[in-house]
Chains A and B, each alone.
Chain A
Amino acid sequence: MTVESTAARTPRRSSTSGGKRASAKKAAPKKGTEPELVQLLTPEGKRVKNAQYDEYVAGITADDLRGLYRDMVLTRRFDAEATSLQRQGELGLWASLLGQEAAQIGSGRATRDDDYVFPTYREHGVAWCRGVDPTNLLGMFRGVNNGGWDPNTNNFHLYTIVIGSQTLHATGYAMGVAKDGADSAVIAYFGDGASSQGDVAEAFTFSAVYNAPVVFFCQNNQWAISEPTEKQTRVPLYQRAQGYGFPGVRVDGNDVLAVLAVTKWALERARTGEGPALIEAFTYRMGAHTTSDDPSKYRNDDERVAWEAKDPILRLKAYLESEGHADEGFFAELEAESEALGKRVREVVRAMPDPDLMAIFENAYADGHALVDEERAQFAAYQASFADEGGK
């Protein structure tokens, strides 16, 4: 596969990027201007045609659409519950996905069971699509573990907190997939802030050089904690792919149908040996970076209000209603299901046991380590010395 032939399949790029030599100042994206992006559903919920990507959602049924809606509603409900639990002191921290449901559900539902997902720490919606029990995601935020699930059960890797590291893991995993001759694909999630990290650049390089079947899925939610995207890049992020020799495409990240279509396109390319692709899902973090953050210090309400009009859930709801794909009964049932999910999450979190004291030493090494053995014995003896006082 040559660079030329992949470039030939590259989706049409923004007209601002080509041709004329522009000064660096002019090349920088202007805040507030509408970027060119792939969209299948307008913010009002109207279906628009797209010659290139319609085929990837051509077979979608009313049932599928209701499924996507359900996924987004339940994910938002789970997220809201986790935020509340943090406020109630049940979680030490929470990273909310509010506003990014379409980006996550659309891309997550595009994956196949044998694909492998490398998330950052906000991919609760993708985890949902992969069948990871949402309560498993809360262990690390409650402080009972640092990961807590078997990545191979759902082909969903552990959350990665160091920014961008997982893009290299995804690339290496994809190199292994290619070596095995398997036809599955790998998808790596990261944010606009992570795009500044060297690891992401190195992942792009390695994936291109080895033609690895990996899709880079950047959720550009406009803010890296308090730093706007302009502090990360002078060119639209999806255009970075061109410099590495693979296609990049910007999709309306609040349009679940468009995200589904574009991600299916990219994953199919990867599976058929056409190598990596970069998707920039243009979206918005409606809430704070985490529960420790205070967005009122660095962004104004107007921006949020403007993005609320593009809400991914309301958009699909409008479409379902206008097409007659869902009735009152469906919405009422989903509401009840949401409440039940919230209740279950609350109960499971509160019942989560603290880890065993000796867990500190568990799994530090796979094959054992003499120093760990020695310190484990010392720690056990120290703890045992409190036995008479009724200690643990």
Chain B
Amino acid sequence: MGVQKLPLAKAINESLRTALENDPKVLIMGEDVGKLGGVFRVTDGLQKDFGEERVIDTPLAESGIVGTAIGLALRGYRPVVEIQFDGFVFPAYDQIVTQLAKMHARALGKIKMPVVIRIPYGGGIGAVEHHSESPEALFAHVAGLKVVSPSNSSDAYWMMQQAIQSNDPVIFFEPKRRYWDKSEVDKDAIPGPLHKAQVVREGTDLTLAAYGPMVKVCLEAAAAAAEEGKSLEVVDLRSMSPIDFDTVQSSVEKTRRLVVVHEAPVFLGTGAEIAARITERCFYHLEAPVLRVGGYHAPYPPARLEEEYLPGLDRVLDTVDRSLAY
């Protein structure tokens, strides 16, 4: 198969195809995932090739999608369900939090819950409300769930394979504004662990930690900073539950400064957890407090304002400067 250059959405599509081929217990479920191939075409062509029994168009009911996926998992299936957009997950939030997350523990480990919930998330595509949110912290906060988000096509391909093979429920956040970004996928590679962070650019002056859609912004910020003679390291967290603090810690011990970047509101967000843990782990290494760049404590704004709301190059670089000024 070798190395191919694929858009992120296509990488997920091929990953789902591989999973359907390899394991007859894998099912795809969701609104419009069949004939249409999903509103982003991530499941394009799968129903045609695997049939309506494997790629299942569901009624328009998110709690029903997740609740029946739980039942199918109890019967030995491995459902991969699609929630059409981030803001639509909340009707299913009860099933995810009170049922899916706790089933394994309540049964004293006797039953497993291999359910993947795919959520296209985040802003930057000019959508109407409820189509641009980043609710990952709400899920990462819940014990029993694992939460991941790829930032590139290779991770999208491999992390989806690993999420489907996981015996724990995985909330798989897909950075929808990166769906069309192409990057290389090596289908013969041996992927690293699902929850391991990766240093995607080495640097010495400051660490930028991000995931999903913000990794690209951070890489661009690091490239811009390099022109000003600043060396920024970029860590792609890849997983928000668990978080690979060891990799972040190693980076911060080297650079002594950390800025966490995400689209989600900063308040009580993933960045807050990273700031607290890294402060605890690296107190004597830090030259500056851990700073965060992210969304505001306000509803996600109308599309005409989102470019100002979303962390961009300038906001990231301003915060880098604040950190370096300590």
Contact A363 B104 (CB under 8 A): yes
Alpha-carbon gap, A352 to B195, bound state (A): 38
List 13 A–B pairs whose Cβ atoms lie within 8 Å, in order of A's numbering.
A150-B108, A150-B110, A152-B110, A152-B111, A165-B99, A172-B71, A174-B71, A179-B77, A205-B61, A206-B68, A364-B104, A372-B143, A372-B242
CB within 8 Å for A151 and B59 given contacts A172-B68, A365-B144, A369-B241: no
Contact A151 B72 (CB under 8 A): no
Contact A173 B109 (CB under 8 A): no
Contact B106 A169 (CB under 8 A): no
Alpha-carbon gap, A162 to B95, bound state (A): 9
Residues of B within 8 A of A (CB): 53, 58-59, 61, 63-64, 66-77, 91, 94-95, 98-99, 102-113, 143-144, 146, 166-168, 195, 241-245
Residue among A162, A206, A366 facing the most chain B CB atoms (10 A cut-off): A366
CB within 8 Å for A170 and B71 given contacts A364-B105, A366-B112: yes
State which of B77, B95, B168 has its C-beta within 8 Å of the C-beta of A365.
Answer: B168
How many inter-chain residue pairs (CB < 8 Å) link A and B? 146
Contact B75 A177 (CB under 8 A): yes
The residues of A that contact B108 with a CB separation of less than 8 Å are 145, 147-148, 150, 362-363
The residues of B that contact A175 with a CB separation of less than 8 Å are 68, 71-72, 75
Contact with B along A343-372 (1 / 0, CB 8 A): 000000000000000000011111101111
Look across to chain A and name the residue whose beta carbon is closest to the beta carbon of B143.
A364
Interface 9-mer from A70-78, A196-204, A279-287, A323-331? A196-204
Alpha-carbon gap, A180 to B17, bound state (A): 21
Q: A146-B105, A172-B67, A198-B91 are in contact. List 20 more A-B contacts (CB 8 A).
A: A149-B110, A151-B74, A165-B67, A165-B94, A168-B67, A169-B74, A171-B64, A172-B71, A177-B75, A179-B53, A179-B77, A206-B64, A206-B68, A363-B105, A363-B108, A364-B104, A365-B168, A366-B112, A367-B168, A372-B242
Look across to chain A and name the residue whose beta carbon is closest to the beta carbon of B194.
A367
Contact B244 A370 (CB under 8 A): yes
Interface of A is mostly: helix
State which of B68, B110, B242 has its C-beta within 8 Å of the C-beta of A151.
Answer: B110
Residues of A within 8 A of B (CB): 145-152, 157-158, 160, 162, 165, 167-177, 179-180, 198-199, 202-203, 205-206, 209, 362-367, 369-372
Contact A371 B243 (CB under 8 A): yes
Nearest CB of A to B51, in Å: 11
CB within 8 Å for A168 and B63 given contacts A173-B74, A362-B109, A366-B109: yes
CB within 8 Å for A366 and B168 given contacts A146-B105, A173-B72, A206-B59: yes
Contact B99 A363 (CB under 8 A): no
Contact A363 B167 (CB under 8 A): no
Nearest CB of A to B128, in Å: 24
State which of A160, A206, A209, A363 has its C-beta within 8 Å of the C-beta of B109.
Answer: A363
Nearest CB of B to A118, in Å: 8
State which of B63, B74, B143, B144 has its C-beta within 8 Å of the C-beta of A157.
Answer: B74
Look across to chain A and name the residue whose beta carbon is closest to the beta carbon of B112.
A366
The residues of A that contact B244 with a CB separation of less than 8 Å are 370
